[in-house]
Amino acid sequence: MRKQNGKIINAAQSRRYRRKLAIRSKINGSADRPRICVFRSNKNLSVQVIDDNAQQTLFSVQTYGKDAVGAGSNKEAAKTVGAKVAEGLKGKNITTAVFDRSGYKYHGVIATLADSVRENGIQI
């Protein structure tokens, strides 16, 4: 169930959430073309590769926890996370994917992450 936009108190979060819902209404991941979903906080990055038809996460890569790749939420960390995502997709014999920026502006860390996935051979 979706949150009501009026219940989000912070105006910036409300705008991001509205953008996120608009994006999600247009894109969908499948087994042969999964959705790459990004979450960015001030400290960390998290990326999930999702098959929406089967409603399951194929794998995830993040900059925190036991299987951390890099550290932080900067462009260098985005490059390493993007390379790891591309490596995981190649391991599952997937060459194309859909990029879900989750309402974040396509700028800075988010753009670097997408470019890193593209540079490592995955078509977005």
Residue 40 placed within a domain: yes
**pLDDT tens for each residue of 68-87:** 888 889 999 999 999 999 99
Residue 51 placed within a domain: yes
Q: Any idea what the CATH number is for the domain that residue 33 is in?
A: 3.30.420.100
pLDDT at 1 over 60: no
Residue 102 placed within a domain: yes
Helix (H, G, I), strand (E, B) or coil at 91: helix
Task: For residue 115, give both structure tokens.
Answer: 């470019």
pLDDT-derived band at 9, boundaries 50, 70, 90: confident
* Residue listed under structure tokens 């985005």: 78
Residue 13 placed within a domain: no
Residue 76 placed within a domain: yes
Residue 16 placed within a domain: no
pLDDT-derived band at 7, boundaries 50, 70, 90: confident
- Give the residue-averaged pLDDT of 33-49: 95
User: How much is the pTM?
Assistant: 0.88
Number of domains in the chain: 1
